Amino acid sequence: MHEHDTSFRKPAAAIASIARRQALGIIAAAAALPFLGHSAQALARVGAVEVIRGNAFARLSDVRRLSRNNNILLGDLVWTEKQSRMTVRLDLGARLYLGPKARLVVDRYIAGTSGDLTLGEGAMVFDRDDDLPKIDLEVRTKFGLIAVRGTRFFAGPSKGVFGVFCQRGRVRVVANGVAATLDAGEGVDIPRRGAPPSAVTRWGQARIDQAFASVLA
């Protein structure tokens, strides 16, 4: 019996040693996951800088000063300084124009089909040819949600309120549970955070020019 017991001690010890090594390996692998995840995320390009006037930056982990042809990555916080403007060519086939002191986050991106953006501050113009295949894009703001497919629209401060104006195509704006659909030439105002959109109106040319000039000039 004694010999029988001894014959099982060595395998048991070996198994325990293997188990410890495996456990250490699992712990080490788990510790590395955040870094692996970050590396994978860092490879997820969503577009590139096309034009910069002034100073613009991006941050995924470290702050990067942006210049022409620099990549914009999934998860990036992108911002412009005072008196600065930037154009980003998105891989969705669209151009995204940011005005001065704008802050935007790329939250979700599926190549060629959909994406989610968050506009934290400032104004933007989104432009995508209607001839391209339709996409599902949502732009979240502190005032409400803007849903687009293929269009050109402005969103940002305008005449003392947050305004959304559709220049081409169609835009759906949802704020405080109230939805408004804008066709070309129409806009809405959201006077404050938590307020519903105003009635849909046709914007005058002077207001349209002023809104787009605040981003594109």
DSSP string covering 198-212, please?
---EEPPHHHHHHHH
Classify residue 109 by its DSSP letter: E
Which token pair is 122? 């400032």
CB 68 within 8 A of CB 50: yes
- pLDDT beyond 90 at 154: yes
Residues of the chain with pLDDT > 90, as a percent, come to 66
CATH number, domain 45-216: 2.60.120.1440
Band (135; pLDDT cuts 50, 70, 90): confident
* Nearest-angstrom CA–CA distance, 211 and 47: 25
Distance of CA 110 to the CA centre of its chain: 11
- pLDDT beyond 70 at 7: no
Which token pair is 193? 């955070």
* Nearest-angstrom CA–CA distance, 102 and 118: 11
pLDDT digits (tens, 9 = 90+) for 137-151: 899 999 999 998 778
Looking at the DSSP bridge assignments, the partners of residue 147 are 138, 172
Note the pLDDT of residue 85.
98
CA geometry: angle at 59 spanning 49 and 151, to 5°? 45
